[in-house]
Structure 1
Amino acid sequence: MRVAVTGGCGFIGSHVVDRLLAAGHEVLAIDTADRYLNPSAEHSSLDILDLPALTAALEGCEVAFHLAAMADVEKVTADPVGAVRANIDGTETVLEAARRAGLGHTVLASTVWVYGAALTDETLDGEEQELDEHTPIDLDHSGHLYVATKLAAEMLMHSYRELYGQHFTILRYGIPYGPRMRDELVVARFVQAALERRPITIAGGGLQTRNFVYVEDLADAHVRALSPAAQDQTFALEGSTAISIREIADTVDRLLGPVTIEHIEARTADYTGRRISNAAAKRLLGWSPSTTFSDGVQRYADWYRATSGRP
């Protein structure tokens, strides 16, 4: 199958390209950069907001994976207009280009951050309620602008299905980590600080949790999303175990330490973590994360040493 991946030379996109190629697919990576371009993939350097150029590039493809986005929440806060153009207008352009080029299926990269706006009871029988793909969203609590852009992108997918019959799959990523991730991401910052013998800084008390997903496990879900069972479905690709920010620091200390830990003020509108089920992905796609957090951190540290020249 010939498929296109927008953002195919970025952190997650490049791993998706790698996994699709390994599965025997023909892949077009659409990205203005080429930092992590797989030499076995075709490359098209174009702006995803350029509808005529994107339509032409998608000719002959069967599926488009749309991963190109402004994903750094700090950049989203600093440039809200740019974030809306990249994340909402960009999704609209990809959907319309796919429609004009005759593609039957578009896969959207979304995020578990949208569950921050979930409309639920706080507890169920004394425990926090587990959320899934059918949990209603309360737009009054969409919170961070990044969440709003992803919710809008998801709504566009549904609208194109209803109006034009364009099939979709929405993949709500857990918090990804692993080789090629941005230096600003928490696991990368902690590992690099440890290797450089700098203190690790934690925003707030460090008790906030994330269900991290190793990037190669995440990429595997994209190959599985090509199956008929994924058509017109939304999947939460959540990690299996909640890891607190403090536990990340402790893991890095155990693997690479000793380290010094310092606390700073908590970040505004940060995603605090919710209990999210990945059962639908396991049931319909046969997907579940297989890499332990400790192993994933070690693999990232090994990759960072190899590519940065750090001892």
Structure 2
Amino acid sequence: MRIAVTGGCGFIGSHVVDHLIAAGHEVLAVDTTDKYLNPDAEHARIDVLDLPALTSALTGCEVVYHLAAMADVEQVSADPVGAVRTNIDGTEAVLEAARRGGLSRTVLASTVWVYGAAIADGQLDGEEQELDEHVPIELEHSGHLYVTTKLAAEMLVHSYRELYEQHFTILRFGIPYGPRMRDELVVARFVQAALAGRPITIAGDGRQSRNFVYVEDLADAHVRALSPAAEDRTFALQGSTAVSVRDIADTVDRLFGPISIEHIDGRKADYTGRRISSAQAKRLLGWSPRTNFADGVRRYADWYRATAGTPTAG
């Protein structure tokens, strides 16, 4: 199958390209950079907002994975106009190019941050019940502009299904980590600080938690999402265990310490974490995360040392 991947040279997209090629597919990486370009992939240096060029590039493809986005929440806050153009207008352009090219499906990269606006039914045994892909979303509680852009992108996907019968799959990522991740991401920051002997900085009290998902596990889910069972469905793809920011620091300390910790004020409209079920992905795609958090952190550190020339610490 010939498949296009927007953002195919970025952190997650490059791993998706790697896994699709390993599965025997012909892959076109659509990206403005070639930073992590797989040598066995074709490359189209195109901005997804360039609809004519994108439409031409997608000719002959059967499926497009749309991962090109402004994903750094701090960058989104600093450049709201750019974020809306990239994340919403960019999704519209991909959907329209797919429609014009007669592609069979668009796979959209979304985020579990959208569950921050979910309406929970209540608590079970003192804990919030797990939220699944069918939980209602309350738009007035969308919070961070990043969440708004992702919800808008999901709504566009559904509208194209209703109006033009364009099939889709939406993948709501847990918090990804692993080789090639941006330096700004919390796991990367903590590991790099520890390896350099610098203090680790925690925003807030460190109790905020995330279900981190290792990027290779996430890429595996993308390949599985080609299954007919994934057509016109949404999947939450999370790690199996909640990890607090303090837990990350403790893991890094065990692996690369000793470290020192400094606390700063918390981030506005931060995602505090919700209990989210990935049962549908396991039931329909046979997918579940396999990588232990500490093992994933160690693999990232190994990659970082190899690519940045960082000496072994500890």
User: What band does the TM-score fall into relative to the shorter chain?
Assistant: over 0.9
Give the corresponding residue for 2:51. 51
- What runs of 5+ residues in structure 1 fail to find an aligned partner? none
Alignment of 1:105-254 (within 5 A): 105-254=105-254
Q: Give the Cα separation in 2 of the matches to 1:203 and 1:75.
A: 17
Q: Which amino acid aligns with 1:192?
A: Q
Q: Give the Cα separation in 1 of the matches to 2:305 and 2:122.
A: 43
Q: Is the 8 A contact 2:120 2:128 kept in 1?
A: no
Per-residue CA distance 1:67-118 (angstroms, 9 max, x = gap): 0000000000000000000000000000000000110100000000000000
Is the counterpart of residue 15 in structure 1 residue 15 in structure 2? yes
* Equivalent pairs, count: 311
Q: Give the Cα separation in 2 of the matches to 1:178 and 1:47.
A: 26
Per-residue CA distance 1:252-304 (angstroms, 9 max, x = gap): 00000110011110110000000000000000000000000000000000000
> If the length of structure 1 is used for normalisation, what is the TM-score?
0.99
Q: Give the Å deviation of 1:127.
A: 1.8
Q: Give the Å deviation of 1:121.
A: 3.8
Q: Give the Cα separation in 2 of the matches to 1:146 and 1:155.
A: 14
Q: Give the Cα separation in 1 of the matches to 2:207 and 2:298.
A: 22
SS in 2 for 1:35: coil
- What runs of 5+ residues in structure 2 fail to find an aligned partner? none
Q: Give the Cα separation in 2 of the matches to 1:291 and 1:167.
A: 31
Q: Give the Cα separation in 2 of the matches to 1:47 and 1:298.
A: 34
Give the corresponding residue for 1:92. 92
Q: Give the Cα separation in 2 of the matches to 1:307 and 1:23.
A: 26
> If the length of structure 2 is used for normalisation, what is the TM-score?
0.98
Per-residue CA distance 1:15-60 (angstroms, 9 max, x = gap): 0000000000000000000000000000000110111100000000
Q: Give the Å deviation of 1:119.
A: 1.0
Alignment of 1:266-305 (within 5 A): 266-305=266-305
Q: Give the Å deviation of 1:129.
A: 1.6
Per-residue CA distance 1:214-267 (angstroms, 9 max, x = gap): 000000000000000000000000110000100000000000011001111011
% identity of equivalent residues? 81
Q: Give the Å deviation of 1:186.
A: 0.1
Q: Give the Cα separation in 2 of the matches to 1:291 and 1:272.
A: 23
Q: Give the Cα separation in 2 of the matches to 1:156 and 1:238.
A: 23
Q: Give the Å deviation of 1:126.
A: 2.4
Q: Give the Cα separation in 2 of the matches to 1:305 and 1:122.
A: 45
Q: Which amino acid aligns with 2:16?
A: V
Is the counterpart of residue 80 in structure 1 residue 80 in structure 2? yes
Instruction: Write out the 4+ residue segments of structure 1 that deviate beyond 3 Å after TM superposition.
Output: none
Q: Give the Cα separation in 2 of the matches to 1:148 and 1:195.
A: 36
SS in 2 for 1:172: strand
RMSD: 0.6
Q: Give the Å deviation of 1:125.
A: 4.3
